[in-house]
């Protein structure tokens, strides 16, 4: 992509409404534009990031045995009356009336709908377990949207739902999602710590929230420095490995301030105590038969009796992740994208547009990397190009200036470490390809 022809409206100055770094940088780097309070348009560069995160999430859900489908954004009020949540949900639910005065709503979540679908389509114990999921826009009419996409009203979420015949099996589904989430965050290139979201009854409801550490996070978090995410990508989806992995990521103390237990906290050596702020980017939840029973969803068991499935739900805030990652990974100059989700892996900076050697090298690099690079071919000063590349946060910058171009060399800059290498073109290409 040539920057001169792109729709990436970067800003030199910060819009007044943006208070925190990620919001400021998302606007300045031309990723999003606000269309209404808590509602954003995703511009080309922002959409690319969103799509990359979405794809990693999708691949890891599939790897865990979950199956993708797509449910609508608009739902019927009647469906929600079955579970009793239509009245219980309150003003956060955006209620809509159609031309026939039918009551509809813009879905804030999909437990009712997925339960209705499974109720219609699975009749026998042989049809379970199932973990359907979708990646779809949700709407929650937040009282006070803020922090850009971190607390929007409209947001993109991956939500999965597990249906199992018994508790043991449901717990296994829960552990599969735990692994899928840790693999997902690892591939994205961030550290997210699973934190107990329920202090409660042993054997009862079970839930973990996944937090990215960032000073501007909305939740206070407490955790044991001994927590190790480990290499989730090497863990297999068999029962023994899942149990071991689950054990390894959930035994060390980690809790948000809401669930903080000062008694347990006191037993941890001071040197290992860590307090900070976190941004919640995911949550997994086991809730048993709450919906299968209230919505009368059962399958026939081997003995001919009814089995009400044990359920769980599993969310990842895909659009929120974009903001959360920036919040965790930026500096004064701009965004520092992890390689896996950067809108463009490489930027080509032509410092002397119109110079024969510079133009030729840039054109060949552009052809080499194709869609995965952004070629700054504008008639701008070097300084402007450096500043914009740093702002946009491309993992690699290939700087092509007349000094090196004459020798067939370019300068390669790594955004994260600010390391610079002066290399022949072919070596620079090899290094970027890694």
Partner RNA sequence: CGGGGCGUGGCGCAGCCUGGUAGCGCGCUUGUUUUGGGUACAAGAGGCCCCCGGUUCGAAUCCGGGCGCCCCGACCA
Per-residue x/- track, 102-141, RNA (CB under 7 A): --------------------------------------x-
Region at 317 (left for phi over 0; alpha for psi -120 to 50; beta for the rest): beta
Kindly identify the residues of this chain, within the stretch 365-384, that bind RNA according to CB under 7 A: 380-384
Provide the β-strand partners of residue 102. none
Contact call for residue 411 and RNA (CB under 7 A): yes
Contact call for residue 360 and RNA (CB under 7 A): no
Distance CA 422, CA 409 (A): 7
Which of helix, strand or coil describes residue 222? Answer: strand
Contact call for residue 297 and RNA (CB under 7 A): no
Distance CA 213, CA 327 (A): 9
Backbone angles phi, psi at 235, to 5 degrees: -85, 135
Q: 3-state SS string over 67-94?
A: EECCCCCEEEHHHHHHHCHHHHCHHHCE
Contact call for residue 407 and RNA (CB under 7 A): no
Q: Closest CB to RNA among 307 and 349? A: 349
* Shortest Å, Cβ 306 to RNA: 30
Q: Closest CB to RNA among 269 and 383? A: 383
* Shortest Å, Cβ 281 to RNA: 6
Residues 6+ apart with CB under 8 A from 345: 339, 369, 372, 373, 394, 395, 396, 432
Which of helix, strand or coil describes residue 410? Answer: strand
Q: Closest CB to RNA among 84 and 301? A: 84
Stretch of 13-21, 42-50, 113-121, 171-179 contacting RNA, by CB under 7 A? 13-21
Please tell me the count of residues contacting RNA according to CB under 7 A.
58
Provide the β-strand partners of residue 315. 159, 283
Distance CA 418, CA 412 (A): 10
**The pair of three-digit structure tokens given for residue 156, joined into one six-digit string:** 């993109």
Contact call for residue 310 and RNA (CB under 7 A): no
Contact call for residue 145 and RNA (CB under 7 A): yes
Q: Closest CB to RNA among 92 and 239? A: 92
Q: Rule CB under 7 A: choose which of 129, 132, 217, 282 binds RNA.
A: 282
Q: Rule CB under 7 A: choose which of 70, 143, 202, 240 binds RNA.
A: 143
Contact call for residue 12 and RNA (CB under 7 A): yes
* Shortest Å, Cβ 386 to RNA: 3
Stretch of 56-64, 97-105, 172-180, 395-403 contacting RNA, by CB under 7 A? 395-403
Burial of 157 (0-12, 13-18, 19+ CB in 10 A): buried
Q: Rule CB under 7 A: choose which of 42, 155, 163, 181 binds RNA.
A: 155
Stretch of 188-196, 274-282, 287-295, 297-305 contacting RNA, by CB under 7 A? 274-282
Which of helix, strand or coil describes residue 355? Answer: coil
Judge whether 389 and 346 are in contact, CB under 8 Å: no
Q: Rule CB under 7 A: choose which of 59, 103, 127, 218 binds RNA.
A: 218
Stretch of 46-54, 64-72, 151-159, 170-178 contacting RNA, by CB under 7 A? 151-159
Pairing between β-strand 346-350 and β-strand 396-400 as defined by DSSP bridges: parallel
* Shortest Å, Cβ 215 to RNA: 13
Q: Rule CB under 7 A: choose which of 47, 94, 387, 431 binds RNA.
A: 387
Query: Length of the chain, please?
Result: 434
Contact call for residue 320 and RNA (CB under 7 A): yes
Judge whether 307 and 299 are in contact, CB under 8 Å: yes
Distance CA 78, CA 102 (A): 10
**The pair of three-digit structure tokens given for residue 190, joined into one six-digit string:** 């961030």
Stretch of 118-126, 181-189, 297-305, 313-321 contacting RNA, by CB under 7 A? 313-321
Contact call for residue 194 and RNA (CB under 7 A): no
Which of helix, strand or coil describes residue 241? Answer: helix
Residue 303 Cα distances to 124, 126, 217, 377, angstroms? 11, 12, 51, 71
Stretch of 64-72, 172-180, 386-394, 425-433 contacting RNA, by CB under 7 A? 386-394
Q: Closest CB to RNA among 327 and 388? A: 388
Query: Taking Cα atoms as reference points, which of 148, 150, 133 lies closest to residue 211?
Result: 150
Contact call for residue 231 and RNA (CB under 7 A): no
Q: How many CA atoms lie within 13 A of 25 on its CB side?
A: 27
Chain contacts with RNA (rule: CB under 7 A): 10-17, 19, 34, 36-38, 92, 140, 142-147, 150-153, 155, 157, 209, 218, 280-283, 315, 317, 319-320, 333, 351-352, 380-384, 386-388, 390-391, 399, 401-404, 411, 413, 420
């Amino acid at each position: 992509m040539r920057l001169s022809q792109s729709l990436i409206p970067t800003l030199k100055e910060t819009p007044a409404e943006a208070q925190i770094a990620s919001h400021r940088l998302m606007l300045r780097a031309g990723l999003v534009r606000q269309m209404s309070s808590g509602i954003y348009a995703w511009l080309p560069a922002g959409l690319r990031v969103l799509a990359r995160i979405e794809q990693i999430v999708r691949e890891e859900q599939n790897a865990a045995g979950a199956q993708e489908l797509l449910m609508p954004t608009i739902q019927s009020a009647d469906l929600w009356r079955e579970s009793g949540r239509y009245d219980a949900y309150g003003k956060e639910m955006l209620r809509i009336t159609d031309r026939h005065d039918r009551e509809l709503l813009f879905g804030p979540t999909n437990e009712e709908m997925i339960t209705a679908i499974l109720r219609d389509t699975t009749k026998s114990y042989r049809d379970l377990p199932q973990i359907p999921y979708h990646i779809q826009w949700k709407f929650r009419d937040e009282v006070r949207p803020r922090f850009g996409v971190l607390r929007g009203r409209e947001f993109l979420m991956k939500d999965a739902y597990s249906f199992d015949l018994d508790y043991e099996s449901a717990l296994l589904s829960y552990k599969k999602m735990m692994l899928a989430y840790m693999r997902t965050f690892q591939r994205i290139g961030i550290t997210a710590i699973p934190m107990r979201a329920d202090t409660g009854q042993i054997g009862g409801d079970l839930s973990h929230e996944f937090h990215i550490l960032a000073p501007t996070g909305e939740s206070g978090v407490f955790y044991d420095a001994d927590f190790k995410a480990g290499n989730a990508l090497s863990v297999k989806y068999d029962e023994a490995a899942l149990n071991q992995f689950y054990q390894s990521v959930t035994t060390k103390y980690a809790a948000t301030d809401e669930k903080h237990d000062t008694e347990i906290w006191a037993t941890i050596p001071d040197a290992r105590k860590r307090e900070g702020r976190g941004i919640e980017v995911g949550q997994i939840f086991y809730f048993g038969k709450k919906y299968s029973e209230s919505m009368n969803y059962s399958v026939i068991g081997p003995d001919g009796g009814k089995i009400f499935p044990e359920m769980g739900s599993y969310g990842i805030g895909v659009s929120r992740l974009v903001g959360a990652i920036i919040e965790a990974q930026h500096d004064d100059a701009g965004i520092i994208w992890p390689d896996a989700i950067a809108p463009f892996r490489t930027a080509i900076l032509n410092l002397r547009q119109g110079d024969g050697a510079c133009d030729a090298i840039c054109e060949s690099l552009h052809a080499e990397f194709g869609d995965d690079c952004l070629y700054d071919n504008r008639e701008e000063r070097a300084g402007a190009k450096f500043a914009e590349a740093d702002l946009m946060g491309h993992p690699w910058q290939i700087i092509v200036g007349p000094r090196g171009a004459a020798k067939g060399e370019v300068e390669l800059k790594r955004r994260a470490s600010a390391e610079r290498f002066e290399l022949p073109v072919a070596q620079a290409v090899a290094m970027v390809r890694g």
